[in-house]
Structure 1
Amino acid sequence: MPAPSLNTTYFDDVYRANDDPWSFETSSYERAKYEATLAALPRERYTNAFEIGCSIGVLSQLLASRCDALLAVDASDLPLKTARARLEPYKHVTVRQMSIPNEFPEGQFDLILLSEVGYYLAMEDLQRARRKMLDQLTKNGHLLLVHWTPVVHDYPLTGDQVHETFMAMAGPDKPLKHLLNQHEETYRLDLFQKI
């Protein structure tokens, strides 16, 4: 039987144990991955961006300078206190607690970033999230995926499974065009554009 999506309680427990459990603020690995993430974005500026899984807001802060508006969300409210403090100077950034795919914002986005969170979802929930992302991505808008690729036994999916689920929507007569694939030793980055 497939593993269920990890729920908010799982992440609350992780953040109760450690304010920065993945060392987003201090890790050279994370810093290099953030640089690659920003470098992959084809446009210098986006009108309305949506970041799924913002955690304590380190990548959100880097994205803020590239967006007229940014909605940054996380399933757990615990890291969002830090994210809100970090992003307080950026009045065009909104931080909200939201559990994807059961909750999803209204509106259209010309950039959606799914970074290091897709593998927390069961396949059925990932497919629901994918439908919602495609529905709310503007024509010619960009969808950027970045995920750790080694197997983590707690997680329902691997990073490669997440990316291949989106690759299935790319190609002739499909809604996405695949623009970029970057494989590093422990993570994968894929950029898509809505046709």
Structure 2
Amino acid sequence: MNLNQPNTLPPAYFDQVYQANRDPWDFETSPYERAKYAATVAALPRPRYAEAFEIGCSLGVLTAQLAPRCAHLLAVDVSEAALAQARDRCVDLPQVDLRLMRVPEEFPPRQFDLILLSEVGYYWNDADLARAAQQCVTGLKTGGQLLLVHWTPPVHDYPLTGDDVHNYFLAQATDSGPLQHLSGQRHETYRLDLLEKR
């Protein structure tokens, strides 16, 4: 056991962040976030996904932009304070199902056409990243797509970097692996990778 391994950030961490600031990462107002969300939605190659799963939806800003591309979108977060704002934002989007859920401790018992992991993976430690990655692979239908989007500079509080997360998934996108890499983008402070289940 590696005693120096940082712990996955707990729900209490996010509760404190949202208590201190209702929009702590400026999701609603930041031009950077607006451009990143546009790039995220534009990276999806299919016009519509029957069943989609967004891990870590926060305030639901990206959720609301993703929803028109989905027949059904399950969006989850560990913070009830964030979900309350997401529910207000998505009140007129009946295809969106918002739930309190902590991945990888919990994972929906079904398969999806799309899983979105945006700005979440670096909150996990190595063991939880490995567990969540396996859940994502299992939770995708054959031909289902996994879209990863993460900030890449290191953050003191976070156990991993965005590059750590993407590189872990990309290591499974070998000729014999369960995933194939469809496309990737690297921007100044974030990266985006789209994978598909074989």
Q: TM-score range by the shorter chain?
A: over 0.9
State the shift of 1:181 in Å.
1.1
State the shift of 1:88 in Å.
1.1
**Residue type of the alignment partner of 1:158:** T
Matching residue within 1, 5, 20 for 1:2 = 5
> Is residue 158 of structure 1 aligned with residue 161 of structure 2?
yes
> Is residue 14 of structure 1 aligned with residue 17 of structure 2?
yes
Tell me the equivalent position of 1:183: 186
> Is residue 42 of structure 1 aligned with residue 45 of structure 2?
yes
Whole-Å separation in 2 of the counterparts to 1:27 and 1:120: 21
Whole-Å separation in 2 of the counterparts to 1:111 and 1:141: 6
Tell me the equivalent position of 2:97: 94
State the shift of 1:124 in Å.
0.3
**Residue type of the alignment partner of 2:99:** R
Matching residue within 25, 39, 50 for 2:28 = 25
Tell me the equivalent position of 1:62: 65
Whole-Å separation in 2 of the counterparts to 1:83 and 1:91: 13
> Is residue 170 of structure 1 aligned with residue 173 of structure 2?
yes
- The Cα offsets for residues 137-170 of structure 1, whole Å up to 9 and x where unpaired, read as 0111110000000010100000000000101110
State the shift of 1:123 in Å.
0.7
- The Cα offsets for residues 33-62 of structure 1, whole Å up to 9 and x where unpaired, read as 001001110101000000001000000000
Query: How many pairs were matched up?
Result: 195
> Is residue 77 of structure 1 aligned with residue 80 of structure 2?
yes
Tell me the equivalent position of 1:108: 111
Tell me, what secondary structure is at the counterpart of 1:105?
A: coil
Whole-Å separation in 1 of the counterparts to 2:136 and 2:53: 10
Whole-Å separation in 1 of the counterparts to 2:184 and 2:83: 30
Whole-Å separation in 2 of the counterparts to 1:80 and 1:38: 21
Moved over 2 A (4+): none
Gaps of 5+ in 2: none
Q: Give the TM-score normalised by the residue count of structure 2.
A: 0.98
State the shift of 1:107 in Å.
1.0
> Is residue 119 of structure 1 aligned with residue 125 of structure 2?
no
Q: Give the TM-score normalised by the residue count of structure 1.
A: 0.99
Whole-Å separation in 2 of the counterparts to 1:104 and 1:16: 26
**Residue type of the alignment partner of 1:141:** G
**Residue type of the alignment partner of 2:100:** Q
Gaps of 5+ in 1: none
Tell me, what secondary structure is at the counterpart of 1:191?
A: strand
- The Cα offsets for residues 64-108 of structure 1, whole Å up to 9 and x where unpaired, read as 000000000001111111100111111111000111100111211
Tell me the equivalent position of 1:135: 138
**Residue type of the alignment partner of 1:108:** Q
Tell me, what secondary structure is at the counterpart of 1:50?
A: strand
Give the superposed CA RMSD. 0.5
